[in-house]
Structure 1
């Protein structure tokens, strides 16, 4: 059996920032000295795969050096596999996972914004599930349901049910509890009544279904600027600087460090890796 730790970035709602969190988590682990394999289960979009393809090309063209993960496509034709039967998709996923987990310290899996058979299978393999959500009741609706009159939390919702089932199955199989962290992405810069209401519901749901709450990434220009180069704020150095530096980049790096600390990942600046 592989001893690789499995990190699944998941949320059944699109636009929550899953791929952005997956990219930054993978690169942070690489800079911490870990051997990382990545699987992109968004078979049509393939944002994670495109990012690391851009990274390899940019580094080669600029004679620059930065760590690379092992990128293992589930299929050479993701769009075709997306239309295949669940049995075929699961077989391809299991094969790809088995191959990429052999020599990795971490396997990072980016999932689509939808409920699919391979996404559910990935959740069942996770040691850590990371769920980004935007600062909105629209995103919270995938996690919990609130009363439309009182806004009180009434029950957990679709995606929470998926994680709950994965945790039960994993505990029954090997008595291991899957850790779950919800990251509050793209927080509004000022305090507002809606944000306070949302904070209270997120905390109430966390106690009910058992996830931890951590800080996410703000909607910063630098994250979008670096994407086409296949780079993150953690890569910037005297030898790698495709955009002009500013104080905002320092704030972004501190923000990324806070996210990684919430996930139990240290060593972003080259210290010894510690993952919990």
Structure 2
């Protein structure tokens, strides 16, 4: 069965869709079959990203690696089993279909708490939680004491992940490998960066996640989306020179894929 990767966080703007697209595309470039779902049914940033990529390849004549994308199927209410939520059923059918033809299924969750997101977390073999490098985002993981920053206990998102872990344990499934990535790391604000890093290190040992290198704050990420490109494509399309910043950003993608330690994946880019 395909390995399920879920990219989730209950806060918008943390880089979930950018992370999803780079992970999915990197896997396809390395020869793996990847199917994707976007559970943000309103904005669908990942779906738009892949749509832009297909259009760019068609218009510019490029043959780039493109992950498969699937919308949740439309199901008449009368075809939903009695007592089953219709959106739960739609997600289950979509995952079941994608798992048959792919090595990995990547699910991009919305930046809010939804029933679909909660169900997706319980399906995750690997959970990636992109986090802006600030205590505003850290507050989703843990409550802290304002006076000295001491960790008081898990917060809303950590509690949802805990519930998903319990659901998997009751079903006899293997534990979720939870990875928190630090995104938008700036070259300045070294004091804040150190304090957030220390707090994540303490919390990771307490509630059970791994901390992975994420993506620094770079203009290039905002420029890639309209063409559906990733940092790994810049050499292939020939129009963008790889400056030092872009080379460093490619290394960040490589480091993230290595840290994920996905089954059967050997990093080759």
TM-score by length of 1: 0.89
Quote how far apart the aligned CAs of 1:156 are.
0.7
1:195 to 174, 193, 196: 193
Q: Tell me the alpha carbon deviations over residues 235-260 of structure 1, each in whole angstroms, 9 at most, x when there is no partner.
A: 2234x134343222211111111111
Quote how far apart the aligned CAs of 1:196 are.
2.2
- More deviation in 180-189 or 217-226? 217-226
- Cross-structure match for 1:255: 252
Partner of 1:101, secondary structure, is helix
Residue 269 (structure 1) aligned with residue 260 (structure 2):
no
Contiguous gaps of at least 5 residues in structure 2: 75-83
How far, CA to CA, are the matches of 1:190 and 1:67 in structure 2?
A: 35
Aligned residues: 259
Partner of 2:240, secondary structure, is coil
Quote how far apart the aligned CAs of 1:175 are.
4.2
How far, CA to CA, are the matches of 1:196 and 1:152 in structure 2?
A: 15
Partner of 1:174, secondary structure, is coil
**RMSD between aligned residues:** 1.8
Quote how far apart the aligned CAs of 1:268 are.
4.7
How far, CA to CA, are the matches of 2:207 and 2:36 in structure 1?
A: 28
Once the two structures are superposed, the pairs formed by residues 18-167 of structure 1 within 5 Å of their partners are: 18-75=16-73, 87-167=85-165
Contact persistence 2:235–2:242 (CA under 8 A): no
Contact persistence 1:130–1:181 (CA under 8 A): yes
Contact persistence 1:8–1:110 (CA under 8 A): yes
Once the two structures are superposed, the pairs formed by residues 174-213 of structure 1 within 5 Å of their partners are: 174-190=172-188, 192-213=190-211
How far, CA to CA, are the matches of 1:68 and 1:188 in structure 2?
A: 30
How far, CA to CA, are the matches of 1:242 and 1:89 in structure 2?
A: 42
How far, CA to CA, are the matches of 2:140 and 2:239 in structure 1?
A: 37
How far, CA to CA, are the matches of 1:106 and 1:23 in structure 2?
A: 13
**Where in structure 1 do 4 or more consecutive aligned residues deviate above 4 Å?**
265-268
- Cross-structure match for 1:274: none
Contact persistence 1:7–1:108 (CA under 8 A): yes
Quote how far apart the aligned CAs of 1:99 are.
1.4
Contact persistence 1:31–1:268 (CA under 8 A): no
Contact persistence 1:31–1:267 (CA under 8 A): no
- More deviation in 256-265 or 204-213? 256-265
Quote how far apart the aligned CAs of 1:96 are.
1.4
